[in-house]
Structure 1
Amino acid sequence: MNTSRRATAIAGALVMVGMIAGALSIVPALEEPHYLTLISAHEGQVIAGAFFQSIMIPAYVGFALYLYPTLRKENEALSLGFLGFRLIAATFHLVGVILLPLFLVLGQEFAQAQASASGAAHLGVLGEVLRTGRDLVNHVALIISLGLGDLLLFSVLYRSRLVPRWLSVWGFLGAGLAMSASFLVLFGLTDVVTPLYLAINAPPALHSVVLALWLIARGFETRTLTTSAG
């Protein structure tokens, strides 16, 4: 297996690692109406969520880094932009990781406030602000950063035919759908855990799986790489 083929296979594997880690980073207790009373009893969920979200950082950035040397030969400006947006998304991931332990502190304070019948309402408002902020980071800022980067990625792939054009077109549509779902969350037209939000994000998620498997099994088009190198 040559260097380029190995790089695309690793990039595809990192997509799968990122998706699995993303699914495992969900903290169900935070989606419950009375999450502040539940969070202390579900400390393991919060810690696991932070751990798996932290795994997503090297997975998402590594995907771009492994593809960048090949993409740069096709279009350096677009490839650099793709890598830059991945680094921005990694920063938002890190913010999301940092926010999670704050819920544990808030949950402990809320339990003490309820026991003494003082300040619980204030902490409830603070909790909603924190939960809304986390949703905006994870499902708006992060997704839009990834989406903009993916538009640049699939622009390079479409022009170069490193992967079949139908896969690049699907990537364009998937990025657009993911970002549109984020804007719906931003403007309060839907919540994160709703059938609408999940339905809009289903095609992009399926595309990520197909792209990952393609990169692992097939890699980039060999004849295209040979032509570009010449």
Structure 2
Amino acid sequence: MKTYRKSVAVAGALFLAATAAYMSGNALIESVVGTSDYLAHAADNRDRVILGVLLEFLNSAAVVGIAIALFPILKRCNEKIALGYVAFRAIEAVLLIVGAIGPLLLVALSREYAASDVPGDLQAIGTLIKEGSSYAFQLGMLALGVYSLAFCYLLYRFRLVPRALSALGFIGYVALSASAVAELMGHDGMLLYIPGALFEIALPLWLIVKGVKLPESAR
């Protein structure tokens, strides 16, 4: 057995940092653009929106960092899956960045809203921007959910973590993928986030405290 304490501890810390950054950033953004009269107030609260967007950018960097930190371990189990995990987390990060640009556009749109003779048109544009951001986010979650099943397969197959935890990962990422599809189709899929959220808290805590061990067959 061989341990990789430093790499997995970094990955665990990045998991937690990504979660904290996204939740904080999204809360700041939604406190401004999640209201019915957001165009009337977004420009006045631009600092809050910008800070929220920067936190979401930090989340995007962290999710790529997770895959990079875990790559040396996953490579010894299956190099193709390890490379794919890096690629799909990069795709997720790009889609999240695209989605995070939307609130910045709403701040710019808000500056024009008060002086506009056709505020209804700007409201329609704002709605399209918000929907575009939502689509980008859901596509990012779909990329994460689908390919992370392969990630959980490696965790389970090589017993990198307890198999019960790997099984929770399978359930969580299937539910996350289903949630993304439901949201893209106009349905509420928020409850389906719960299993994946539990996994992305439990896994990093295990990585930080216990680490992983590779069997001889994966060395």
User: Which range, TM-score by smaller chain?
Assistant: over 0.9
Change (3 A) 1:207 1:160: same
2:103 aligned residue: 100
2:79 aligns with: 76
How many aligned residue pairs are there? 215
- What amino acid is aligned across from residue 150 of structure 1 in structure 2? S
Unaligned runs of 5+ in 1: 191-195
Trace 1:124-143 onto structure 2 (pairs within 5 A).
124-138=123-137, 140-143=138-141
Whether the aligned pair in 2 keeps the contact of 1:22 and 1:53 (CA below 8 Å) is yes
What percent of counterpart residues are identical?
Answer: 30
Structure 1 residue 100 displacement after superposition? 2.4
**Structure 1 residue 51 displacement after superposition:** 0.7
**What TM-score, normalized by structure 2, do the two folds share?**
0.93
CA distance in 1, matches of 2:48, 2:181: 28
1:131-169 deviations in whole A, cap 9, x for unaligned?
Answer: 01011111x111001112211110111111111111111
- The equivalent position to 1:209 in structure 2, one of 185, 201, 206, is 201
* 1:52 partner SS: helix
Alignment partner of 1:151 is 2:149: yes
Residue 3 (structure 1) shift: 7.8
Q: TM-score, with normalisation over the residues of structure 1?
A: 0.89
Partner of 1:16: 16
Higher RCO (C-alpha under 8 Å, 6+ residues apart): 2
The C-alpha deviation readout for 1:29-49, integer Å capped at 9, x for no partner, is 211122111212221221111
Contact preservation (8 Å) 1:79, 1:156: no
Select which of 169, 179, 182 maps to 1:181: 179
8 Å Cα contact 1:79-1:152 kept in structure 2? no
RMSD (Å) for aligned C-alpha atoms: 1.5
CA distance in 2, matches of 1:110, 1:53: 26
Shift of 1:83: 1.2
Q: Deviations over 1:159-191 (max 9, x none)?
A: 11111111111101100111111111111122x
